[in-house]
Amino acid sequence: MTDLSRGCDSIAAASRERSACDIHVARRVRAQAVKEQTSTKPEREGAEKRMPAYFYRLSAARQRTYLRSDSIERLPFVPDAGTFDSARNLMRALETGTRPAVNDATRILVADLCRRFAVPAVRIEVREVRPRNARGELHGIFFVRPPSIVLWMRTAQRHDVVKPRTFLRTLLHEVGHYLDYALLKLDDSFHTSGFFKRESFLVRALYPSERTPPTSRRASDAQPPSLPWGVQS
């Protein structure tokens, strides 16, 4: 074999090796791409499934409001001694079972919370027996225009006074709707996961022994909770 033939054979062998190597690398690249696609697709699908059905019927502007609310989990709030006293006074007023005492104590606590958040005071009224229909009992409601809150202190069926922690959580739920507008400057107040985390944050801040996980309250998959005249809870 001539030197020229041997050289040609060497070049051909080297070319085959590079081709095999290129094929191997290409297969690894494709395999990695498939792996990345299969690992990220469920994550995207999971993120979409977390949204309630009505989210996709909202306008683009209201979807942005929803997502902003969902992204906020805490509020700039550290209660002082006066706030704790107001919360304890409300608990004691509920033990008496008298509506005027509960109404006054609730107003004082809400006024203190509004002062701490540096937002205008919101009108609040405590009524006796909860309204009831086929869907259940109405615990509280926030009216957007003008801002006001109505709470009920007795159960619908037995007319028992609501447990103090339950009443406090309902109160802070409605205050949370008000803060969405007055503090966070949202255009609407939705029952997002972030909303319920803010609610639980306030409950824990005022009632440290409260350890109800936020997952016990989930965003509704029905209709948007915000109505033209109020927010039902």
Asked whether the predicted pLDDT for residue 211 surpasses 50, the reply is: no
Please say whether the beta carbons of 224 and 58 come within 8 A.
yes
Of 178 and 134, more confident: 178
The phi and psi torsions of 29 (rounded to 5 degrees) equal -65, -45
Distance, in Å, from the CA atom of 74 to the CA atom of 70, rounded to the nearest integer, reads: 11
Average pLDDT, whole number, for the chain?
79
Q: What are the tens digits of pLDDT across the range 148-195? A: 999 999 999 999 999 999 999 999 999 999 999 999 999 999 999 999
> What local confidence, expressed as pLDDT, does residue 130 receive?
97
Which residues does 86 contact at the CB level (< 8 Å), separation at least 6?
105, 108, 109, 112
Distance in angstroms (rounded) separating the CA atoms of residues 159 and 127 = 12
- Residue 135, pLDDT score: 85
Among 8-12, 67-71, 103-107, 119-123, which is the least confidently predicted range? 8-12
For 117, half-sphere exposure in the C-beta direction (CA atoms, 13 angstrom radius) is 25
Whole-prediction pTM: 0.71
More confident residue, 73 or 33: 73
pLDDT tens column, 3-25: 444 444 554 454 454 444 443 43
Which of 204, 141, 168 lies closest to 87, judged by CA? 168
pLDDT (tens digit per residue) in 38-77: 333 444 444 455 789 999 999 999 999 999 999 999 999 9
Torsion of CA 210, 214, 215, 217, to 10 degrees: 90
> CA-to-CA distance for 106 and 164, rounded, in angstroms?
12
Q: Say if residue 202's pLDDT is above 50.
A: yes
Say what the pLDDT of residue 134 is.
Answer: 82
pLDDT score of 222: 39
Confidence class for position 106, pLDDT limits 50, 70, 90: very high
Q: What does the block give as tokens for 35?
A: 């792996």
